[in-house]
Amino acid sequence: MKIETIAIHAGNHVDPVSKSVIQPIVMSTTFERNAEGGYDSGYIYSRSANPNRTALETVLAQLENGVEAAAFSSGNAAGMSVFQALEPGTHIICPDDMYHGLRNQLKALFNGILEFDFIDVNDEQVLNQHIKSNTGLIWIETPSNPLLKITDIKKVVSIAREKNIKVVCDNTFATPVCQQPLTLGADLVMHSTTKYFGGHSDLMGGALITAEKSEFWDKIRNVQTMGGAIPSPMDCYYLTRSIKTLPYRVKGHVNNALLMTNFLASHPEVEAVMYPGLSSHPQHDIARQQMSGFGAMFSFTLKGGEAKARKVINSLEIFTQATSLGGVESLIEHRASVEGPDTKTPFNLLRVSIGLEHIDDLIADMEQALAAV
Ligand SMILES: *Cc1c(COP(=O)(O)O)cnc(C)c1O
């Protein structure tokens, strides 16, 4: 089935009791035992499993072409579960521009438990140099945040495979509508479902999807159900509801991103636009090979430096100045100030999550903001 059909039907079933077309929300934390002490429905206690979470995990797994998914209460909880499932002392390789929340998590919570290096994983030589006998995992994130760098997934997988190293891909920016890392050989996909899956900036969630069942996956399941960083039945319901429109929303976001980046690229106040969909992007060819759409996140820098960047951001009327991404409303942020003092992000850079407003209105707003002095 195609992704639009999967998004609507996978995991959902007509309720056998009420015949409701949409699966009801089951708030119960506990489930009745039968006379023999067993559980007829398979559900015992909602930390371990809940019907709405099962529905969500079913659709997530199918969207990413995986065999199973585990849903979490946030993207960071999903990432943490991967790290917690590794043997202490394992060495992991991460991109030097890894999502700052997970980079900070590793440094603050896994120091002394795991070994980690933050490197340019796109440089084959650098990557090979950093692989050690205890390297167990390579983490990739493509397109990356906020410079929209592209990692060649197949290439990293081929290097990792030879040495029995797992590859996890943070696919939050691309979504399975634009990129399916498991079909390119990755072992696990990670998502912050807070972003495009939720799509309306009103819930937090995370997910891991596995290409195959394994001992490592069993450990991740244990971290999920014993650790307990699970989404509520309400959050699972809202997510499955939003996922039904994910393919069409993402197509709309991508179209708007293409049109807006083309506008910005030819504007005299703009220094550079970072978007994998532009032929000027240094890894545009890799993006074309491994993505079926270029996503809807982009950044741009201003010739007038930080002062101009702040002027633009404060002059916009439709765009809201806020962090996060993937919602129907357009957001813009001065990324360097979000990332804190050790940031490598240029101070004249603005990061945009383009929404689903009409592109003519968005371009008109951007045009007036760029003209502000
Ligand atoms: C937001 C985000 C995360 C973290 O997810 P939360 O839901 O905020 O915990 C991880 N990776 C990327 C690329 C993100 O954008």
Ligand 1 is surrounded, with C-beta below 6 A, by 74-76, 99, 101-102, 141, 145, 170, 172-173, 192, 194-195, 204, 206
List domains and CATH numbers for the chain.
Answer: 3-241 (3.40.640.10), 246-372 (3.90.1150.10)
- What is the value of pTM for the model shown? 0.97
Mutating to test ligand 1, I would choose from 103, 169, 192, 324 the residue with most ligand atoms within 8 A of its C-beta, which is: 192
List C-alpha distances in Å: 53 to 5, 40, 80, 120, 259: 20, 18, 19, 36, 37
Q: What's the CA gap between 97 and 268, in Å, rounded?
A: 28
Each residue's pLDDT, cut to its tens digit, for the chain (373 residues) gives 999 999 999 999 999 999 999 999 999 999 999 999 999 999 999 999 999 999 999 999 999 999 999 999 999 999 999 999 999 999 999 999 999 999 999 999 999 999 999 999 999 999 999 999 999 999 999 999 889 999 999 999 999 999 999 999 999 999 999 999 999 999 999 999 999 999 999 999 999 999 999 999 999 999 999 999 999 999 999 999 999 999 999 999 999 999 999 999 999 999 999 999 999 999 999 999 999 999 999 999 999 999 999 999 999 999 999 999 999 999 999 989 887 787 888 999 999 999 999 999 999 999 999 999 8
- Residue 327 C-alpha to ligand 1 middle, in angstroms? 13
Catalytic option among 43, 97, 99, 196: 99
Nearest-CA neighbor of 70 among 196, 216, 201, 230?
230
Tell the residue nearest (CA) to atom 5 of ligand 1: 75
- Asked if residue 128 lies in contact with residue 159, where contact means CB atoms within 8 angstroms, the answer is yes
Residue count (the chain): 373
Residue 324, phi-psi category: left (phi > 0), alpha (psi -120 to 50), beta (remainder): left
- Asked if residue 215 lies in contact with residue 231, where contact means CB atoms within 8 angstroms, the answer is no
Q: How many CB atoms lie within 10 A of CB 254?
A: 21
